[in-house]
Structure formats: C-alpha cells, structure tokens
Structure 1
Amino acid sequence: MNHSHQHIYDVCKDHMHAYVLIELVDGSSIDGIITGLDHESVYLAVPLEAHEQHHSYMQQGENPHHRQFGYGYPGYGGPGYGYGGYGFPPYRFRRLILPLTALAALSILPWY
C-alpha cells in the first residue's frame, strides 16, 4: 500500500460513522455516512433523493400518501400493530461501495 493510499485509508478510518463529503478523482462528489472500510474499499450509506424514497415505498407495496400509524407493540400481528401495522419503514439510504483509489479528498459535514 503506497503512502497516499494509506493516508486515505487512515482518514476514512478516523471518520468511521461520520457524515462526510467525498470528492473523487474524476471531480464528482458524494455525501454519505461511512459504514465500513477495508484496504480496498470504503462503504457508504448514501441518502436517497425524494423520488427514490417514493420508489422504495412502491417496492414495499405501500402508498406513502395514505400511510396509517397504528398503536400497539412491534411484532404483534393484525391491523394497527407494529410499525403502522403494515410492513417496514421506507428506505432512506442506499449502500455504495467505492474503491479507495477513487477518493481524492474527504470533508466532514454537519448533520443539520
């Protein structure tokens, strides 16, 4: 592992579970939360855009505009129980795996 590759690895390791902006060698940038790291790749949880969140509702067979929130305890069957009584919450992140060699810079972002 050369010096620059080791430096990028160390920076990612120091910012594990942080919300970061990653600039790539091609000039593009990606924001996300570092969820994992190995000597070849960095693993990110990347926030979905609004249209992608809507699509995740539809994949789960739910209508996001007519969602009902029930009462009771998660895990108990029947209408009105669990998370809204109907399935799982929508996806808000997607997983992205980037090779460490593609990273040019990393900046920490605030959560707000």
Structure 2
Amino acid sequence: MLRTDMKALCEAHMHRYVEVQDQNGVCYDGIVEYIDDHTLGLAVPGAIGEQRAFGPGFGPGFGPGFGPGFGPGFGPGFGPGFGPGFGPGPFPFRPRRFSRLVLPLYTLTALSLLPYY
C-alpha cells in the first residue's frame, strides 16, 4: 500500500482503536493519536516500558522477624519488598494507562478497526 493511501486511511480512523501491521508481520493495537507525512502515533493501552521507580519498600521482606529458633524469621522486614516504594515525587505510584508508540508510515501494510470492550 502506498504511503499516501495509508495516511488517508489513518486520517479516516483518527481517535479510533485500531490494529496496524507492519512489513515484518508484527501487529500493534492502539488509538490513532496523530498522523503526519512520515509517522503514525498510537496511544497503546498499558505500559510499554518500566514505569516504576524501585526503592526500599516496606513490604514483606526477610528481615528480623519473630520466627522460631535463633535464626532470622520471616516477619515484616524492611528490605526491598513489594510495597509502594519511594518513587520520584510526593505522589504515590500510579501506572500509566497509555503509552505512546511512533511507527514509520512507510512500514505499515494493513490497518483494521477494533471494537472497544
């Protein structure tokens, strides 16, 4: 498909949930956010990269607990647990709902509309 035809097809589906396929057969789904002469911008649901800043949490670690014997127990330690952690800023951790994915327009071969569920 020509790039001008793909651009017109993407413009017709602006702000809709679509699935696009590239020349290698890889499929991406997301909401068409923007389109220009060379790129297509998709808002992809869920996080693509790691969005959490790992810090010392206060979750269930293997610290000095109240186990039997003289060894370390399995109590609520203060190690790097799976608690909220200390991320950047004063606000609690909140996962991203959408991430941006930019694809070159000349590599796209197909676009299909997907329903919302």
TM-score (norm 1): 0.65
Residue of structure 2 equivalent to 1:91: 96
- State yes or no: 1:110 paired with 2:115: yes
Any stretches of 5+ residues in structure 1 without a counterpart? 67-84
Residue of structure 2 equivalent to 1:78: none
Percent identity between the two aligned chains = 37
1:5 shift after superposition:
1.2
Residue of structure 2 equivalent to 1:46: 44
Looking at secondary structure, tell me which structure has more helix per residue.
1
Q: Which whole-Å deviations, capped at 9, do the CAs of 1:24-81 have from their partners, x for residues lacking one?
A: 11111000111001010000111226x96xx43x3397x8976xxxxxxxxxxxxxxx
TM-score (norm 2): 0.62
Per the alignment, do residues 90 and 60 of structure 1 end up closer, same or farther by CA in structure 2, a change over 3 Å counting? Answer: farther
1:106 shift after superposition:
0.2
Any stretches of 5+ residues in structure 2 without a counterpart? 58-81, 85-89
Which runs of 4 or more aligned residues in structure 1 lie more than 2 Å from their structure 2 counterparts after TM superposition? 58-61, 63-66, 85-90
Q: Aligned partner of 1:92: which letter? A: R
The two structures, once aligned, show a CA RMSD in angstroms of 2.7
Per the alignment, do residues 110 and 86 of structure 1 end up closer, same or farther by CA in structure 2, a change over 3 Å counting? Answer: same
